[in-house]
Structure 1
């Protein structure tokens, strides 16, 4: 099974990017997925892979690591084993060694989807955005309508400052995967980053009306309202699960960003009104939720983002 990527690229957008102090795209969290069984897998190793994947999915990193290590010790070219080790290392934040394991797996099987996804989300975590974009495009060549790949690629593009291309990717993914919450949340955040919070509100409202909507959707909706200056709506949303002091921190942050953007309009006529400069320092994807002030206001992961490292992916 593939681990959780945005833990949840996502890809995000899942809190606002560099200019917002800590923005990001939803980093894609993906549910556990059955790993393809390679030709050199025997019944015993297949059973161990499934147990290891289950342990990883349930958060038992120590057991999962032990089982994956056993698989690799028995067969140094075990693609699921190497990928699993990459997943466990990613889960504890060791992205450098995680990337090494994914690359070892891809040297054996360059088209192994979980390893490709893992390598892409590591690239996002390490801010190697061009590498992430290349890797996600490879995945899309093999799986043209894969939601995690679309979310991850869009997240990488967003973090690279190409919001128009990111939004096109999210919309393409939504056309193939209608209603996908990760893609919708990432699209909403991308619109905020590009200076279009009003359209972001419309996108995010479609997600948050469902009881099972991801938390990132409501957080990003509050951000969109905040950037519009509708502090009453933003405060009501944030107050549902945050203490009053944290809500006030976020409202001050929104006000600061509105003033910053207002000042920027007078000095940079090329900037779209209300646009937020992202640059390359934010995270998605997916990934994971980035905090602004003391509060997470968005998701990513994927990588893809993950997550903004699906983001896990």
Structure 2
């Protein structure tokens, strides 16, 4: 397979980006909001400064908007106020991860975990870094640590499924993801990874069926569409694959990917050996204000 085609496929499957992806990709971020009734009112002092937690929430919002400079500034300010702040350390790790500096991100996640071994956000960050560095055994072990602390957590289950798939253990990944979907019905990140796992594991028809259930929703993550196009392409339904790809790619890139699908069908092999990390839905770590 030509390297230019491999890069194009990686680009196609990158849109979940962790994600809204996978969003939320995904709405699996695990964040909750609550409303607290205030029983007394106090005047706001003109010179009063926002609390550290308020600044962390603003930093989280900046990070989710990909405003990495502002997020970094606010996380660093919070860390200056409290050098042992696990949310601030995790936030700095998240910003570095967001710009692709995985090695430095891992350092901050590790520092946060040393301060609070039971905090799951930095552990999930550590596992994501391991996946990007293709240290799949380390990622699997770390996700198991998260699940020991939070059984059936959708973030950890989706990440563990991704690590297992990338290591070639599709059967184990599918069993895990199906079980996680029972505990978290309708979770889009879990469904996207299950559909891709089935496709990479040699059953693109079943993979397409799973992905169709996700893509029928208007808010479906783009990654679900791209993985569905891969499933259709491996099935030989090039018209359907081209129609899906055309929503996000120029015509030349669509043709490149159709040729890739044809090449894989002609070889009658699974494309799992060369699959990119971006082909799976990696969970975002929870932000500092997440409960």
**Cα distance, 1:299 vs. partner?**
4.8
Match of 1:187 among 184, 194, 210: 194
Are the counterparts in 1 of residues 62 and 68 from structure 2 also a CA contact under 8 Å? Answer: yes
- Bigger Rg over Cα: 2
Match of 1:217 among 205, 224, 235: 224
* Between 231-240 and 153-162, the greater mean CA deviation after superposition: 231-240
Are the counterparts in 1 of residues 246 and 254 from structure 2 also a CA contact under 8 Å? Answer: yes
Are the counterparts in 2 of residues 52 and 63 from structure 1 also a CA contact under 8 Å? Answer: yes
Q: Which residue matches 2:98?
A: 91
Following the alignment from structure 2 to structure 1, what is the Cα–Cα distance between the partners of residues 208 and 96? 37
Following the alignment from structure 1 to structure 2, what is the Cα–Cα distance between the partners of residues 21 and 246? 9
Are the counterparts in 1 of residues 13 and 226 from structure 2 also a CA contact under 8 Å? Answer: no
Gaps of 5+ in 1: 1-17, 36-42, 262-273, 290-297, 305-313
**Cα distance, 1:169 vs. partner?**
1.2
Q: Which residue matches 2:212?
A: 205
Aligned length: 253
Render the CA deviation track for 1:117-146: whole Å, top value 9, x for unaligned.
111111111111111101111111111121
Q: Which residue matches 2:289?
A: none
Render the CA deviation track for 1:167-200: whole Å, top value 9, x for unaligned.
1111111111111111111111111111111111
Following the alignment from structure 1 to structure 2, what is the Cα–Cα distance between the partners of residues 92 and 193? 28
Q: Which has the higher contact order (CA 8 A, sep 6+)?
A: 1
Match of 1:275 among 266, 270, 273: 270
Match of 1:71 among 60, 75, 78: 78
Q: Aligned pair 1:196/2:203, yes or no? A: yes
**Cα distance, 1:282 vs. partner?**
4.1
**Cα distance, 1:245 vs. partner?**
2.4
Structure having the higher helix fraction is: 2
Following the alignment from structure 1 to structure 2, what is the Cα–Cα distance between the partners of residues 195 and 164? 11
Please, what is the CA RMSD of the aligned residues?
Answer: 2.6
Q: Which residue matches 1:302?
A: 283
**Cα distance, 1:303 vs. partner?**
6.4
**Cα distance, 1:100 vs. partner?**
0.4
Gaps of 5+ in 2: 1-5, 34-49, 286-291
**Matching of residues 146-295 of structure 1 within 5 Å:** 146-261=153-268, 275-278=270-273, 282-284=275-277, 289=278
TM-score (normalised: structure 2): 0.79
Classify 1:34/1:237 alpha carbon distance in 2 versus 1 (closer, same or farther; 3 Å): closer
Q: Which residue matches 2:288?
A: none
Following the alignment from structure 2 to structure 1, what is the Cα–Cα distance between the partners of residues 55 and 222? 34
Are the counterparts in 2 of residues 124 and 303 from structure 1 also a CA contact under 8 Å? Answer: no
Render the CA deviation track for 1:90-133: whole Å, top value 9, x for unaligned.
11111111100010011110111211111111111111111110
TM-score (normalised: structure 1): 0.74
Q: Which residue matches 1:82?
A: 89
Following the alignment from structure 1 to structure 2, what is the Cα–Cα distance between the partners of residues 24 and 165? 22
